[in-house]
Chains A and B, each alone.
Chain A
Amino acid sequence: MTDSRPPLWLLAELTYRCPLQCPYCSNPLDMAGIDAELDTESWCRVMAEARRLGAAQLGFSGGEPLLRPDLETLVAEGRRLGYYTNLITSAVGMNSARVAALREAGLDHIQISFQASSAELNNALAGSDKAFAQKCAMAAEVKRQGYPMVLNFVIHRHNIDQLAQMLELATALQADYVELANAQFYGWALHNREQLLPSRAQLQRAEATARAYREKLGKKMQIIFVVPDYYEKRPKACMNGWGSIFLTIAPDGTALPCHSAAVLPIDFPNVKQHSIEYIWQHSPGFNHFRGNQWMREPCRSCPEQAQDFGGCRCQAYLLTGEAANADPVCDKSPHHRQIVDIIAASQSGQSCRHDLLLRNMRNSRALLRGRPGS
């Protein structure tokens, strides 16, 4: 099966290197074993080929994309090709000259991540003493230079009770959008899941807070609240369907239908060997879960299959061992009990922030050797 619909989103993960160590990072745990990053010329070819197919949104992320000295060059090329260019950054490594240079290159929007609304918690989660002050200063600078700005908070047990303070911070920094994204459990977040899952009571309070601020702020600041899917009865429509709109290119050139798909036992194509057109339309990897022929029960006969596509293939694989199973978040899944048990287990033990395994190359190397540190 081939697909003539265009990819709308190209996510360029420029590097896995990052000055921060957030324990919920979605990058792969084995990132230390992947070192060869695509060069400038290869990224330019990827952008041009995806744009020819119809991609209109271009995200530069990582790791920390500011670590690439050719970022301005890539932004300029992306903008020239007609993309709406998004920079997804921690703001660590940013300064006013670079904000201006990116503006000059044609960057359309900057998203800055925050770990919490207070310096103490933010810096503990990021594993960096200076991160919070830097983020606040750069958020102000981004607005001063006229960009639309999104602030992104990844939400979990240790910061979810500060939601109101996060929204106050975002208001003070004049964010246009604020994303309150509950951690989704892939990569480092999956490893740290027991310490990250909020309780149902925490979640309900947080949703009420987000609702109240949404009413209060109206159009001034748009609030996007991403629920933790473990507390849902139906799975998320992951990536709007496999190979439907989303194309991620990992730092080494591996093309993926989502940024977590590298965990799947599927041979994904690499842009070093193939064109984007071949990858999107013809590669076995991108056609693997298109359509509904791959579905098993309960998805195969489910009237909701066109709404949620059976949920997330990565989550099905990570939790049930078989990627074609229904996402076990769905309460029709015979494996749903696992989710219930994971929530119960995470709420029973005494969990401590200091048990979180920080995302860094040292811990990644230890995991590769089979000996995770702390």
Chain B
Amino acid sequence: MPAIRRQFRLQWEDAQNCFVLLYPEGMVKLNDSAGEILSRCDGHSNVGAIVEELARRFPEAENIEADIHEFLADAYDRGWFEEKGWCEEKGRCEHD
């Protein structure tokens, strides 16, 4: 169950017209799909549930499951997620 790391805050910004990820002294502007995925990474939904919900919401999107997995792996590599929730989900953790 991916959860955004404690030092990050996901927030909608009117001025940017997008979701942004705020962290100490920095900000990442997120595109629409990144914002949709990350806003569901609350530590309570597993990846399967996130895929299911987004597939229902965007029925026209092709390969949505693969795209979500790819985005989540990339976000993990960027250090946006708590290790714990992510590792349980993946059944592995390089730091354990």
A-side residues, CB < 8 A to B, are 6, 8, 53-54, 56-57, 59, 82, 84, 86, 108-109, 111, 146, 148, 150, 176-177, 219-220, 222
Known: A8-B27, A111-B25, A222-B79. A56 touches B7 (CB 8 A): no
Are B15 and A53 touching (Cβ within 8 A)? yes
Closest-CB distance, A291 to chain B (whole angstroms): 21
* B24 in contact with A176 (CB, 8 Å): yes
Closest to B79 in A: A219
Q: A8-B27, A148-B7, A219-B79 are in contact. Are A84 and B13 (CB under 8 A)?
A: no
Q: In whole angstroms, what is the CA distance A56 to B8 when docked?
A: 13
Looking at the assembled complex, report how far the CB atom of A217 sits from the nearest CB atom of chain B, in whole angstroms. Answer: 11
Which residue in chain B gives the minimum CB-CB distance to A7?
A: B15
Q: Which listed residue, A57, A176, A219, A220, touches B7 by the CB 8 Å rule? A: A176
Q: Count A/B pairs, Cβ under 8 Å.
A: 50
Tell yes or no: B16 within 8 A of A by CB. Answer: yes
**Cα distance A177–B27 when bound, in Å?**
15
Q: Is B11 an interface residue (CB 8 A)?
A: yes
Contact yes or no, B6 A57, CB < 8 A: no
* Cross-chain contact of A177 among B22, B24, B95 (Cβ < 8 A): B24
B1 contacts the other chain (CB 8 A): no
Residues of A within 8 A of B27 (CB): 8, 56-57, 84
Is the C-beta of B20 less than 8 angstroms from some C-beta in chain A?
yes
Chain B stretch 1-33: residues in CB contact (< 8 A) with chain A: 6-7, 9, 11, 13-16, 20, 22-27
Q: Is the CB–CB distance between B15 and A84 below 8 Å?
A: no
A residues in contact with B95, CB < 8 Å: 220
A84:B23 contact, CB within 8 angstroms: yes
Name the 4 nearest CB pairs between A and B, nearest first. A54-B15, A148-B7, A84-B22, A109-B24
B24, B79, B95, most chain A CB atoms within 10 A: B24
The residue that A54 contacts in the complex, of B11, B16, B26, with Cβ under 8 A, is B16
Contact residues in B for A6 (Cβ distance below 8 Å): 15-16
Interface contact B7-A109, CB-CB below 8 Å: yes
A57 CA / B9 CA spacing, docked (Å): 11
Taking CB as reference atom, which chain A residue is nearest B22? A84
Report Cα–Cα, A108/B8, bound state, in Å: 9
A86 to B9, CA, bound (A): 13
What is the minimal beta-carbon distance from A244 to any residue of chain B, in angstroms? 14
Asked, given contacts A54-B16, A222-B79, whether A148 binds B24 with beta carbons under 8 Å apart, the answer is: yes
Chain B: minimal CB distance from A6 (Å):
5
The answer to whether B9 touches A146 (Cβ under 8 A) is no
Are A148 and B23 interface neighbours, CB within 8 A? Answer: yes
Known A8-B27, A176-B7, A176-B24; further 15 A-B contacts with Cβ < 8 A: A6-B15, A6-B16, A54-B13, A54-B16, A56-B22, A57-B26, A82-B11, A108-B9, A108-B24, A109-B23, A109-B25, A111-B25, A146-B6, A150-B24, A220-B95
Q: A151 to chain B: closest CB distance in Å?
A: 11
For window 46-96 of B, CB contacts with A under 8 Å fall at 79, 95
- Interchain nearest-CB distance for A317 vs B (Å): 26
The residue in chain B whose Cβ has the minimal distance to the Cβ of A245 is B27
For residue B83, give the distance in angstroms from its CB to the closest CB of chain A: 8
Which residues of the other chain, A, contact B6 by a CB distance below 8 angstroms?
Answer: 146, 148
The one of A59, A82, A219, A220 in contact with B25, judged by C-beta atoms closer than 8 angstroms, is: A59
Quick one: closest A residue to B76, CB to CB? A219
Bound CA span A109–B22, Å:
11
Chain A residues whose CB sits within 8 angstroms of the CB of B9 once the complex forms: 84, 108
Contact B15 A150 (CB under 8 A): no
CB-CB under 8 A from A53, the residues of chain B are 15
